[in-house]
Amino acid sequence: MKRVRAFSPAVMVLLAFLLAASVACGGDDDADNGGDAAAAPTAAPADTGGDAMGDAMGEPVVTRVVISNPGPNTESNNVQKDLNPPAGVQLKPIYESLVGYNPDTAELEPQLAKSWAFEPDGFSFRFVLQEGVAFHNDNGEFSAKDVVYSHSQHTREDATHSHSRHYGRGEMETVSDYEVVFRLSAPNAEMLRLISELNMSSLDISSAVDAEKIGEITLLTDPPAGTGVYQFVSRAQGENVIFERVPYEHWRVSADFPELEFRWVSEASTRIASIIAGEVHITQLPQDQTEEAISAGMALSVGTVDAQRVFLGYQGVYVDSESACGYKYCDTPFLDLNVRKAMNKALDKPAINAAFFANKGKTMYMNHMAPNNPYTNPDWERNFPAEYGYDPDASRALLAASGYNANNPLEIDVHLTTSAQFTQSADVLEAAAGYWNDVGIKTNLLQIDPAISRATNRELGFSRQVNFQGTPDFDIQGWRVRQSSVTPRGGGVEHLDTEPIVARLRATMEPDMQNQIMRELSDVAYVLHVWMPLFWVPAELVYDPEVVASYDFPGSPPGLYSHFHRIKAVKK
């Protein structure tokens, strides 16, 4: 664990603000984040995406569109057994899900299941399946046996997929060739969305026939066939994965480019050089290099869905039924509401947005809950200046009310993490430390080896630490993973006032009731300051407009790249 010298208070943010003044500011797109559905339409809607240029007659100017991004943390050809989101993107072009995800409305919609409904127990699902859907490479047609096989890979004893424990709490029953029941042992409010296309590598459907021919699936075999618009060609481990468009009319959508390649490149400097040189056609870059690429003639596509968000989390408030105070650390300063509120009100969020997010961040009034949902409370925005607005004097007064002063300063640890998605994360934390120093908080800036940090977090070993979090978790998942005592723990405040409400939410399957509970839960959490909300940050991709006409992508959890048929080609 290494201690880092603190920067002078707040000055860094003001300097960064001046530097950022020359950066063009982008817009934001509002979208509904959607929710579960008790029943679905009986036909999958057509989705062609794109614009007139992309849909024009003619062949693409290049045969293969190349997408470059850092490689996944795990490589595998068994998507259900091994590939956690977002690593599942590496095979996503070849697979479809029972339940789709609309990239424009953010709503769940039919895909390989043409409808679904609750069983009489209120928490199991009956799926009526599409008929006549072909698997790649003459591996027959999709049916119930393929759903059963795909589920079985999730529940293998050696499965490492993070959703395996969810799937292990249910059985997939065959009713007929085109009807299955996923019978759960208990309610799971997240399950429908975990099944869906929303979660990159969840219940993607593989061919049982092809899997039987392959035997044990490894990186030396092909992955089992899917039903997607692209089929697998080859993989060079650590380098790339190549796909080709299916040689027949796909049952649901069509793709412009005959071939698609994922090229794994960790260094952003290499990716920007490659896209400017025409070797790569779509990539994601840090903000400064995004602006550089645009200046060099590249185009920008902004995700259609509010999903990615950044915030600062308190680590140290963990419920413990055996403790006298009800928490693991009775002496953590973060148990004090005055402290949590003071730390929020010490932060000049508009200056942070200008300095580090080019003013593209949309104010986050409620963490985990995307704007414009049925559970949104307009009071969150109305009361935000009083509850969370920048007010150093109010921050000092709150600290003084809890006994903190120059002779007895509040002392906290700030973990300078560097996020792969948000490379400015450490700078944001240093700026926040400067603001906290301004109101009298003593901040220890720390760099911790990632392996040590993960191990310490698993043991709930942090008692007064602040960290940066950037995540696309959907609402119910966000509450479970980051604000509750349900495994995995350690992400944020586990409050005794919110714990029972989270438990009720997780046991509720009916969408309208979920919305009611999320409204109740959010109203309670809002005044408890269980996090330091920052911004909803639009997902952005850079593309070469001489090759790609448009790419209307949702930018939704858990990965940027999806709906590959919406990559529209410039035509000859």
Label residue 470 by pLDDT band (50, 70, 90).
Answer: confident
Label residue 47 by pLDDT band (50, 70, 90).
Answer: low
pLDDT of residue 557: 60
Rounded to an integer, what distance in angstroms lies between the CA atom of residue 372 and that of residue 119?
30
What residues have CB less than 8 Å from 511, skipping those under 6 apart?
A: 35, 36, 37, 38
Higher-confidence residue: 555 or 59? 59
pLDDT of residue 498: 97
Domain membership flag for residue 165: yes
The CATH number of the domain holding residue 366 is 3.10.105.10
Going by C-alpha positions, the residue among 439, 561, 572 that lies closest to residue 103 is 561
Residue-wise pLDDT for 474-489, tens only, equals: 899 899 989 999 988 9
Element (H, E) at 341: helix 337-345
The lowest-confidence range among 100-104, 319-323, 556-560 is: 556-560
Same domain, 249 and 163: yes
**Stretch 240-250: mean pLDDT, rounded?**
98
pLDDT of residue 376: 94
**Stretch 343-356: mean pLDDT, rounded?**
97
Label residue 451 by pLDDT band (50, 70, 90).
Answer: confident
Asked if residues 364 and 536 have their Cβ atoms less than 8 Å apart, the reply is: yes
Asked if residues 290 and 540 have their Cβ atoms less than 8 Å apart, the reply is: yes
pLDDT of residue 34: 31
Rounded to an integer, what distance in angstroms lies between the CA atom of residue 202 and that of residue 83?
8
Which two structure tokens, joined as six digits, stand for 123? Answer: 């928490």
The total of other beta-carbon atoms located within 10 Å of residue 497's CB is 12
Query: Using N-to-C axis directions, what is the helix angle for 475-482 and 499-506, rounded to 10°?
Result: 130
**Torsion angles phi and psi, residue 87, rounded to 5:** -60, -20
pLDDT of residue 9: 40
Domain membership flag for residue 473: yes
**Stretch 502-514: mean pLDDT, rounded?**
93
**Stretch 464-468: mean pLDDT, rounded?**
96
Same domain, 494 and 548: no
Domain membership flag for residue 136: yes
Which two structure tokens, joined as six digits, stand for 373? Answer: 């949902």
pLDDT of residue 290: 93
Residue-wise pLDDT for 263-298, tens only, equals: 999 899 999 999 999 999 999 998 889 999 999 999
Asked if residues 170 and 186 have their Cβ atoms less than 8 Å apart, the reply is: no
Rounded to an integer, what distance in angstroms lies between the CA atom of residue 79 and that of residue 351?
42
Same domain, 470 and 564: no
Same domain, 316 and 241: no
Domain membership flag for residue 427: yes
Domain membership flag for residue 238: yes
Question: What's the mean per-residue pLDDT of the chain?
Answer: 88
Same domain, 452 and 561: no
pLDDT of residue 460: 95
Rounded to an integer, what distance in angstroms lies between the CA atom of residue 569 and that of residue 544?
10
Same domain, 272 and 326: no
Same domain, 552 and 526: no
DSSP string, 37-66: -SS--SSPPP---S-HHHHSSS-BSSSEEE
Domain membership flag for residue 307: no
Q: Residue 533: helix, strand or coil by DSSP?
A: strand
Same domain, 511 and 461: yes
What is the percent of the chain where pLDDT is above 90? 74
DSSP string, 432-492: HHHHHHHTT-EEEEEE--HHHHHHHHHTT--SSEEEEEEE---HHHHHHHHSSSSSS--SS
Rounded to an integer, what distance in angstroms lies between the CA atom of residue 455 and that of residue 373?
36
Same domain, 60 and 204: yes
Same domain, 432 and 557: no
Q: Cα-atom radius of gyration of the chain, to the nearest Å?
A: 24
Same domain, 164 and 197: yes
The CATH number of the domain holding residue 104 is 3.40.190.10
State the pairing for strand pair 240-245/113-118.
Answer: unpaired
Domain range holding 165?
52-284+542-569
Residue-wise pLDDT for 216-236, tens only, equals: 999 999 999 999 999 999 999
Cis preceding-peptide flag for 385 (omega within 30 of 0): no
**Bridge partners of residue 470, in order along the sequence:** 310
Domain membership flag for residue 24: no
Q: Is the pLDDT reported for residue 31 higher than 70?
A: no
Which two structure tokens, joined as six digits, stand for 73? Answer: 């943390």
**Stretch 186-201: mean pLDDT, rounded?**
88
Going by C-alpha positions, the residue among 110, 107, 125 that lies closest to residue 38 is 125
Asked if residues 242 and 259 have their Cβ atoms less than 8 Å apart, the reply is: yes
Into how many domains does the chain fold? 2
Same domain, 118 and 218: yes
State the pairing for strand pair 259-264/64-69.
Answer: parallel
Q: How far apart are the first and last CA of the chain?
A: 57
**Per residue, what are the HEC states of 279-311?**
CCCEECCCHHHHHHHHHCCCEEEECCCCCCEEE
pLDDT of residue 390: 98
**Stretch 491-506: mean pLDDT, rounded?**
95
Domain membership flag for residue 414: yes
Label residue 6 by pLDDT band (50, 70, 90).
Answer: very low
Element (H, E) at 405: none
